[in-house]
Amino acid sequence: MSVLKHQANSLLEQLDGFRVEVDAAAQRADIVLDRPPFNIVSMLQREQLRLVFEALDEDERVRVIVLRGSGAHFSSGGDIKGFLEASPEHVSKLAWNVAAPTRCSKPVIAANHGYCFGVGFELSLACDFRIVTATTQYALPEQKLGQIPGSGGSARLQKMVGIARTKDIVMRSRRISGAQAVEWGIATQCVADAELERATADLVQELVGFSPLAQRTAKKLLNDTEDAPLAIAIELEGHCYSRLRSSEDFREGVEAFHGKRPPVFRGR
């Protein structure tokens, strides 16, 4: 066993403030924030979350990952005292850890309800899909502490909603509702609290039905070309399209379409 792998295994021996549930039949893994009552995210937990995302990315049983919170809230944010105790070097790694859902090649869904503040919001913004409820409140409240978001929150939000709305949220530490998040394009769907799990399961089932190879390609292409000029993005899209044309999944998709039957994709 390599030194790095041994260190990772040691870090994951006891998960701090969350648990992992794998449903092989549904091809789904859930990362559940579980530090009641507000699911505060510790410094250690951030690093463990990164390692878990990386491990699930390699787990062949899993096609889709769901990030959710137990209890009444997703997460009220990070362990504020931990910032004062952490070294500058440790703090400098926080954004890399929180970006783990984005780097993961598989689709990641954030199921958000109740408070979704600070790093809870930043983790959600790093996911591919955000489903919210009537009780969801998004906020980046760092200005109240004499700070700014430090794990990609303001940067990701600005890409989604523009500079004016981002300033409104960040510089005023303003909360926005789940319904407003959908209106602004931050979240993809707003449901009643009681329907959150059903909506999440439906999205998982839908995503599992597509080619995993095409899904991985689409996610990486979209992430890689977010800041690219249009001509470069179109060029890269063409190369990705060309590679997928030679895949077994594409052949299966075409044959299933003409045969009027559901495709059986194998990720090859």
Please name the amino acid found at residue 51.
L
- Catalytic residue annotation: 122, 142
The CA distance from 25 to 61, in Å, is: 8
Taking phi first (over 0 means left), then psi (-120 to 50 degrees means alpha), and beta for anything else, what does residue 150 get?
Answer: alpha
Please name the amino acid found at residue 94.
L
Determine how β-strand 129-133 pairs with β-strand 189-191: parallel
